[in-house]
């Protein structure tokens, strides 16, 4: 129950936090452990830290995502912001090609 409560009440970190910082505790922990990593695994800067941690610990990755993220709704022209970079872009979600490319991109990330 403690773990569930902590997961439900966690406050988001700064937007540009690098994932390898999150695995630092696994690298310095002396006792061999089993760690469950819940992530969307979209960040690109964590592989090396995971390799180092995996030499000492058993790591189990659980990929999590929202089903509503699989496809864009037909909602017209939307202003969207990249959560990490802050870049703003206009997207026409009524365009079939835009929705198809988005869905293909989503599934290419989930297969990794």
For residue 15, the model assigns a pLDDT of 47
Q: Residue 6: what are its φ and ψ, rounded to 5°?
A: -65, -40
**Residue 88 near residue 57, CB atoms below 8 Å:** no
**Residue 72 near residue 99, CB atoms below 8 Å:** yes
Q: Residue 78: what are its φ and ψ, rounded to 5°?
A: -120, 145
For residue 18, the model assigns a pLDDT of 45
- E-strand ranges in the chain read 34-39, 58-63, 77-81, 88-92
Helix (H) or strand (E) holding 51: helix 47-56
pTM over 0.75: no
Residue 44 pLDDT class (50, 70, 90 cuts): low
């Amino acid at each position: 129950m403690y773990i569930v409560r902590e997961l439900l009440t966690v406050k988001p970190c700064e937007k540009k936090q690098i994932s390898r910082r999150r695995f630092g505790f696994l690298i310095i922990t002396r006792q061999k452990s089993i760690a469950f990593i819940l992530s969307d695994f979209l960040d690109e800067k964590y592989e090396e830290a995971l390799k180092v941690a995996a030499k000492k610990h058993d790591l189990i990755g659980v990929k999590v995502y929202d089903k509503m993220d699989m496809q864009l709704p037909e909602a017209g022209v939307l202003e969207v912001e990249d959560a990490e970079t802050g870049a703003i872009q206009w997207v026409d979600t009524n365009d079939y090609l835009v929705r198809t490319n988005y869905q293909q991109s989503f599934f290419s990330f989930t297969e990794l």
